[in-house]
Amino acid sequence: MLAFVFIVSWLTTETKLVCGLNFTLSKTRVLLGTTGKLFMTCDVTEKDASIVYNIKIRRKTSTELETLAFMDARITEVPALDKRIVDDKDFVVGGILDKDNPLNTNLTLQMNIEKMTYDDARVYRCEMTYKSKLSESIVSIVRNATLIIVEADNKTEERADTLQDSECVSKTTFVIVGVILGVAIILTTIYASYITVVMRRMRDRNRHYGRREMLNAAPINDTSEIQNSSDEV
């Protein structure tokens, strides 16, 4: 039973980490110098969220994370760009922060592929901070997606790879393995308890049978001989 409680607790934690946020890129491989738009979309899927405090799209640098787009309920509910980073990139931000229904909350970022450089090939991240309905604590979750930029001369085929989904798939598989392991432990414990009870009953039965055999084999006094002796006197 203790093993079952541990597995269920661990399963709940992993599920919350992976499934609360969905971050997708319309392209994860861009040909340098081509035209078109790249769309990044960050959707809230966490049912445990009672209030979404903020949601951001960021990307990694060599030393830190820089914020490209964000919405913050404590500052402004309107999606905004960090002008210091994206002012000359023709970035367009969109989205909504829904206080009544957090599942409607989303943040989008549109990038002009024509103005992209190799420096835009990064690991991008969607972050969200919310208040839990169950624990009423503040929870932060993240999802990552990788953008690759290649030269158009390579004639590399553009693919709609969804690298950001690999994390969810691998962790979901890990969760399934954990559940199977937990069930196996429980079944093994029940089987061991059953074998112990059966062995104890067999041991008690054999002890009772042996005692009965000893009683049957013991000599019995013949009272008829005693009566005959009395008569003779």
pTM: 0.59
Tokens of 31: 């040909």
Whether the pLDDT of residue 207 is over 50: the answer is: yes
Selected residue with higher pLDDT from 170 and 63:
63
Q: Is residue 173 part of a domain?
A: no
Confidence of residue 62 (pLDDT cuts 50, 70, 90): confident
Residue 29 is predicted with a pLDDT of 93
Confidence of residue 19 (pLDDT cuts 50, 70, 90): low
From 72, 69, 83, 77, select the one nearest 39 (Cα to Cα).
Answer: 69
Confidence of residue 24 (pLDDT cuts 50, 70, 90): very high
Selected residue with higher pLDDT from 210 and 148:
148
Whether the pLDDT of residue 189 is over 90: the answer is: no
Selected residue with higher pLDDT from 101 and 166:
101
Residues of the domain holding 91: 20-151
Residue 194 is predicted with a pLDDT of 73
Whether the pLDDT of residue 146 is over 90: the answer is: yes
The pair phi, psi for residue 197, each rounded to 5°, is: -65, -45
Residue 7 is predicted with a pLDDT of 37
Q: Is residue 184 part of a domain?
A: no
Residue 143 is predicted with a pLDDT of 95
Model pLDDT for residues 89-113, shown as the tens digit of each residue: 788 999 999 988 999 999 999 999 9
46's CB contacts (< 8 A; 6+ apart) are 16, 19, 20, 21, 102, 103, 128, 130, 141
Whether the pLDDT of residue 37 is over 80: the answer is: yes
Question: What's the 3-state SS for 103-165?
Answer: HHCEEEEEEEHHHCCHHHCCEEEEEEEEEECCCCCEEEEEEEEECEEEEHHHCCCCCCCCHHH
Q: Is residue 62 part of a domain?
A: yes
Residue 53 is predicted with a pLDDT of 94
Q: Is residue 162 part of a domain?
A: no
Q: Is residue 192 part of a domain?
A: no
Least confident of 73-87, 117-131, 150-164: 150-164
Q: Is residue 176 part of a domain?
A: no
Q: What is the CATH number of the domain that holds 119?
A: 2.60.40.10
Number of domains in the chain: 1
Q: Is residue 135 part of a domain?
A: yes
Model pLDDT for residues 116-135, shown as the tens digit of each residue: 999 999 999 999 999 999 99
Tokens of 188: 């093994």
Q: Is residue 84 part of a domain?
A: yes
